[in-house]
Amino acid sequence: MNNDTLYSQAHYDLDIAGPMVLEIPKTDDRYFIVQLLDAYSDSITDLYRDNAGTDGSKYLLVNRGWSGQVPEGIDGVIESRTPMVWLIQRTGVSGESDLQSALKVHDGFISYPLTEFGKPHQPVTLTKSSNRIPPMTLPQGLDWYALIDKELRKNPVSEDKAVVDQFSYIGIGNDTPFDATKLSEAQKRGLLRAIETSKQVIQYAGRSVGTTNNGWSMMYEGGRYGHDYLSRASINLRAAGLNVPERALYPNRYTDAKGQKLSGNHAYRMTMPANPPADAFWSLTMYDAKNLFMVENSIDRYSISTNRSEELKYNSDGSLTVCIQSDKPKDEDCNWLPAPKEEFYLHMRLYEPTQAILDNQYMLPQVQRIQ
């Protein structure tokens, strides 16, 4: 969750819907990306300015092995290795004053089944919700393993066959669906322990996953996990649907320059040099360390973003200093990012990162505790 971009999301089951048409509107100079992920959060591809253009285009999303007829007017075909596909579409927005203009562009990103190609389509009219998103219903106990078995059946990938085959002795991936009643009592106890242990392993791995750059975890693995299952799990716990690094990098940290946990009991400073490592724009967002939610505050500021230049005060040399603390700073020229009173977590976003940062040759700024 961030406030740099407008979001739309869709989930497709290509076994049911068949090929889907993805339409991109005329975008001019506005930042956008249509991100496509398979069932395992690996990147299928991204549609963005450099490959989709800015004058509008249409693409066909198909399941692996599809051999149907591509109609005239389709600019490209995208093949997914799994029938389940997650689409995340982002449109850049430069603050409240730009919101309506951004929404007009954002509403032009639509999708529909190939069977409806050539028919008129309009964006769905949405109404504002009066409630929060309800909590996700999670499996309980051994039902987790039934869900794993179900998803592996729905979205098999040959690349993981050697690993999946090892699960057969506990009833996952066999000819018949997982049945917990066929397990021994010892197996049941072991699998229940594994659920709780895995949660802890994933939670703590997320605090140090990826390459370190001056105290920031870089997560270069985003969207291309291969057989690195722990990175896939820990990254998706905090940043589900992460982009591949060429499109966006997400440096994050829980500690200051001396390795101490970030806390609202202290005040910190971070200064980004005048040559930031992002060709589009960059932002720094505040989250609480426990639940990873944005932090409510008195000035309704949840991030510092160079896409909202009217909010920012630059130093004379072009650098940008951010004051990170719970109380309003005395320095009126410092860009205040309000923190909670408790421990917190910082998440940077680098949109269209430079080659220097992709090569880990750009030293990101430290977060210095000043009191």
Domain ranges of the chain: 5-116, 143-205, 246-369
Cα–Cα distance for residue pair 47/19, rounded to 1 Å: 17
pLDDT of residue 292: 80
Instruction: For the domain made up of 246-369, give the CATH fold.
Output: Jelly Rolls (2.60.120)
pLDDT of residue 213: 95
Do domains 5-116 and 246-369 share one topology? The answer is no
Q: C-alpha dihedral over 252, 285, 288, 295, to 10 degrees?
A: 180
Pairing between strand 320-325 and 268-272?
Answer: antiparallel
pLDDT of residue 137: 87
Cα–Cα distance for residue pair 2/33, rounded to 1 Å: 15
* Six-digit token string for 174: 């066999």
Q: What residues does 322 pair with on adjacent strands? A: 270, 335
Report helix, strand or coil for 29: coil
* Six-digit token string for 291: 């639940």
pLDDT of residue 1: 58
Instruction: For the domain made up of 5-116, give the CATH fold.
Output: Immunoglobulin-like (2.60.40)
Per-residue pLDDT reduced to its tens digit, 299-347: 999 999 999 988 999 999 999 999 999 999 999 889 999 999 999 999 9
Closest CA relative to residue 247, chosen from 220, 268, 272, 228: 220
Given its phi and psi angles, is residue 114 left (phi above 0), alpha (psi -120 to 50 degrees) or beta? alpha
DSSP designation for 53: -
Q: What is the pTM of this model?
A: 0.86
Pairing between strand 5-13 and 84-92?
Answer: antiparallel
Q: Are 307 and 92 in contact (CB under 8 A)?
A: yes
**Helices within the chain (DSSP H only):** 14-17, 49-52, 99-106, 143-154, 161-164, 185-205, 229-239, 355-358
Neighbours of 167 (CB within 10 A): 16
User: Angle at the Cα of 268 (from 200 to 216), degrees rounded to 5?
Assistant: 45
pLDDT of residue 338: 96
pLDDT by position in tens, the chain (length 371): 577 899 999 999 999 999 999 999 999 999 999 999 999 999 999 999 999 999 999 999 999 999 999 999 999 999 999 999 999 999 999 988 899 999 999 999 999 999 999 999 887 777 777 777 788 888 999 999 999 999 999 999 999 999 999 999 999 999 899 999 999 999 999 999 999 999 999 988 866 667 899 999 888 988 999 999 998 998 888 788 889 999 999 999 999 999 999 999 999 999 999 999 999 999 999 999 887 888 889 999 999 999 998 899 999 999 999 999 999 999 988 999 999 999 999 999 999 999 999 999 999 999 999 98
- Concatenating the DSSP letter of every residue in 166-180 gives GGGGGTSSSSS---G
pLDDT of residue 345: 92
